[in-house]
Amino acid sequence: GNKVTVVLGAQWGDEGKGKVVDLLATESDIVCRCQGGNNAGHTVVVDGKEYDFHLFPSGIINPKAISFIGNGVVIHLPGLFEEAEKNEKKGLKDWEKRLIISDRAHIVFDFHQAVDGLQEVQRQAQEGKNIGTTKKGIGPTYSSKAARTGLRICDLLSDFDEFSSRFKNLAQQYKSMFPTLEIDTEGQLKKLKGYAEKIRPMVRDGVYFMYEALHGSPKKILVEGANAALLDIDFGTYPFVTSSNCTVGGVCTGLGVPPQHIGDVYGVVKAYTTRVGIGAFPTEQINEIGDLLQSRGHEWGVTTGRKRRCGWLDLVSLKYVHMINGFTALALTKLDILDVLDEIKIGIAYKLGGKRIPYLPANQEILQKVEVEYETMPGWKTDTTGARKWEDLPPKAQNYIRCVENHLGVPDVFSSLVKWVGVGKSRESMIQLF
């Protein structure tokens, strides 16, 4: 049968997954999303046009590929059509002929989004800090799913009276929890009925769809992870995480694919580290280095517009993420942002009370306390944006990449883990090494 190729974020998001996916999507037959919702933001630049995707798989640009939104994704229908409209203005055509939606995907309602905002306000008031969600209703929808009160695409497309009464019950539950919440139940139901007819032709049983894709004629199937490993609900820096599994296990559960069909798993890593919102960030640089990375790297969120916190590359967390995902290769992006630095540091170990610890602490308070041990290297002080092959990179930059591989335990001198190095915005600026 066919195997799926998976692209996953290996840090706290914003690693440049969109570009790697775009690179692979040009030759894929099917591009899938398996988790998250429109809290994701993937930017893809094609022919000088910048597309921003939130719910759509980035492969939607490829007129030859089918895009699939799997059961693990939570779907805000107004958001889906708004996104379609925005990208149609930029030249996206016939997307509805290329999109397939799993009937088992849960629906994000407007009141989920309102509740997301109210919960953040509550957290801020009670704990003095919020999680920093995108307020897109993702957390509350996954909560409804786990509490078994959620509604799915298949419910919307079945008996609408039954759907309406379940919708009203759920709305009522939220109103009793949040007395200030206003819900225009009838208005929303009317809109939902309209969306139901628009998406009906795109909806399929995702399990059968994926099974046929895996067992039919040879096909290239790509899975685009959203968010990133350190935001994973199980393995991330809890509680400052998202509500889904953004590590490799989410691919199996979010699409209905058995593990033996997972082929290459590509991790996307920025040459430094960024994080949006609050939570532990051991290698963060709150100084001119951090400011330099922030401005040179244009580090603010696609979905939220928030400034990203910046710091050195953290190999302790990267190693941990590699243990979970078993990457077959890595894409190292935005190397060019480091071009101007005199010296570059890589975090290679965590210390607690002066002693090295061989793991990434699960507890948030302990993780806040770790000290990072760094390896310092000389910067290459050369513009790398014109590099198109390995040989074009300055020896000191090659050194930096090899150092990352060594720490991740690449066994011998002849094998490498870094398959791509990104040195700029365009499709061409992804150097492929093997």
Each residue's pLDDT tens digit, 381-430: 999 999 999 999 999 999 999 999 999 987 666 678 999 999 998 888 99
Counting every residue written for the chain, the total comes to: 434
Catalytic residue among 136, 145, 219, 270, which? 145
Q: Is the pLDDT confidence value at 306 over 90?
A: no
- Cβ within 8 Å of residue 361, ≥6 positions away: 350, 352, 367, 370
Mean pLDDT of 23-50: 88
Q: Which of 188, 146, 147, 194 is nearest to 171 (CA)?
A: 188
Predicted confidence band of residue 336 (pLDDT cuts 50, 70, 90): very high
CATH of domain 4-102+202-265: 3.40.440.10
pLDDT tens digits for 265-290?
999 999 999 998 889 999 999 999 99
Q: Is the pLDDT confidence value at 301 over 80?
A: no
Distance, C-alpha 259 to centroid of its chain: 20
Where are the CATH 3.90.170.10 domain residues in the chain? 269-432
Where are the CATH 1.10.300.10 domain residues in the chain? 107-199
Q: For the chain, what is the mean pLDDT?
A: 94
CB 11 within 8 Å of CB 279: no
Question: pLDDT above 70 covers what percent of the chain?
Answer: 98
| CA distances (Å), origin 162, targets 102, 156, 157, 175, 384 | 20, 9, 11, 20, 60
Q: Which of 328, 227, 273 is nearest to 236 (CA)?
A: 227
For residues 221 and 367, what is the distance between their CA atoms, to the nearest angstrom? 37
Helices 110-127, 160-177: inter-axial angle, 10-degree rounding: 20
Predicted confidence band of residue 342 (pLDDT cuts 50, 70, 90): very high
Q: What pLDDT is recorded for position 4?
A: 98
Q: What pLDDT is recorded for position 303?
A: 63
Mean pLDDT of 71-92: 95
Q: Which segment, 9-23, 54-68, 96-110, is predicted with the most confidence on average?
A: 96-110
Mean pLDDT of 148-158: 98
For residues 164 and 144, what is the distance between their CA atoms, to the nearest angstrom? 16
Scored b (16 or more CB within 10 A) or e, 86-99 reads ebeeeebeebeebb
Q: What pLDDT is recorded for position 302?
A: 66
Where are the CATH 3.40.440.10 domain residues in the chain? 4-102+202-265
Residue 275 in tokens: 């994080």
- For strand 30-33 and strand 66-69, is the pairing parallel, antiparallel, or unpaired? parallel
> Domain 269-432 - what CATH class?
alpha beta
For residues 371 and 310, what is the distance between their CA atoms, to the nearest angstrom? 17
Using a 10 angstrom Cβ sphere, with 0-12 exposed, 13-18 middle and 19 or more buried, the burial of residue 9 is buried
Q: Is the pLDDT confidence value at 256 over 70?
A: yes
CA-atom Rg of the chain in angstroms:
22
Q: Which of 266, 255, 253, 217 is nearest to 2 (CA)?
A: 217
- Which residue did the predictor score with more confidence, 194 or 46? 194
Mean pLDDT of 128-137: 79
Predicted confidence band of residue 124 (pLDDT cuts 50, 70, 90): confident
In the annotation, is 381 catalytic?
no
CB 302 within 8 Å of CB 237: no
- Which residue did the predictor score with more confidence, 346 or 21? 346
Predicted confidence band of residue 214 (pLDDT cuts 50, 70, 90): very high
CATH of domain 107-199: 1.10.300.10
Predicted confidence band of residue 120 (pLDDT cuts 50, 70, 90): confident
Mean pLDDT of 245-266: 98
pTM recorded for the entire structure: 0.94
